[in-house]
């Protein structure tokens, strides 16, 4: 079986490093203790601290001193990482089709989108159409 390619923002990272990056993207900034507490499976504080040091050496996280501890945050903008992850999900699960992904969202077991979400999606589609035409038409 072929190995799934990670989103570009997480490429070149081990499973544990990826878990830590996902936590940091979610929190924005966190201490070793906060990351340790959110790990999906057990890893010691020293293990998390070591991996954060490796991620810092790779240029994936930055740290700053806050009192007696350090706070770590991703060096990649979460929006950029999110775009990369979304493109990967579309490629892997929906054959690159946004239509198939939306169909799955609207017909799946999850909560149906509310009227406000549908209105926002309609506005995004109108804007995409306008940009595709290359004009300023509404």
Chain segment 33-69, per-residue pLDDT in tens: 999 999 998 899 999 999 999 999 999 999 999 999 9
| Higher local confidence (pLDDT), 107 or 11 | 107
Domain boundaries, the chain: 1-97
d(Cα 127, Cα 93) in Å, to the nearest integer? Answer: 26
Question: Which pLDDT belongs to residue 1?
Answer: 45
Question: Which pLDDT belongs to residue 72?
Answer: 98
Q: What percent of the chain has pLDDT over 70?
A: 91
The stretch 113-136 carries a mean pLDDT of: 87
Whether 36 and 42 have beta carbons less than 8 Å apart is answered as no
* pTM for this model (two decimals): 0.64
The stretch 87-116 carries a mean pLDDT of: 84
Query: What would the DSSP string read from start to end of 8-69?
Result: GGGTT--HHHHHHHHHHHHHSSB-HHHHHHH-SS---HHHHHHHHHHHHHTTSEEEEEETTE
Strand partners, 64: 71
CATH number of 1-97: 1.10.10.10
Strand partners, 71: 64
| Higher local confidence (pLDDT), 32 or 133 | 32
Q: What is the mean pLDDT of the chain?
A: 86
Radius of gyration from C-alpha coordinates of the chain: 19
């Amino acid at each position: 079986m072929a190995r799934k390619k990670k989103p570009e923002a997480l490429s070149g990272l081990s499973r544990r490093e990826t878990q830590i990056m996902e936590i940091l993207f979610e929190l924005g900034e966190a201490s070793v203790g906060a990351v340790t507490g959110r790990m999906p499976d057990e890893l010691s504080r020293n293990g998390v601290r070591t991996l954060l040091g490796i991620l810092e050496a790779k240029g994936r996280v930055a740290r700053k001193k806050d009192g007696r501890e350090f706070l770590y945050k991703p060096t990649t903008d979460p929006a950029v990482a999110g775009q990369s992850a979304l493109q990967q999900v579309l490629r892997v699960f929906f054959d690159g089709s946004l239509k198939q992904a939306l169909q799955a969202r609207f017909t799946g077991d999850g909560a149906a989108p509310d009227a406000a979400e549908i209105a926002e999606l309609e506005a995004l589609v109108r804007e995409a159409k306008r940009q595709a035409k290359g004009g300023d038409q509404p």
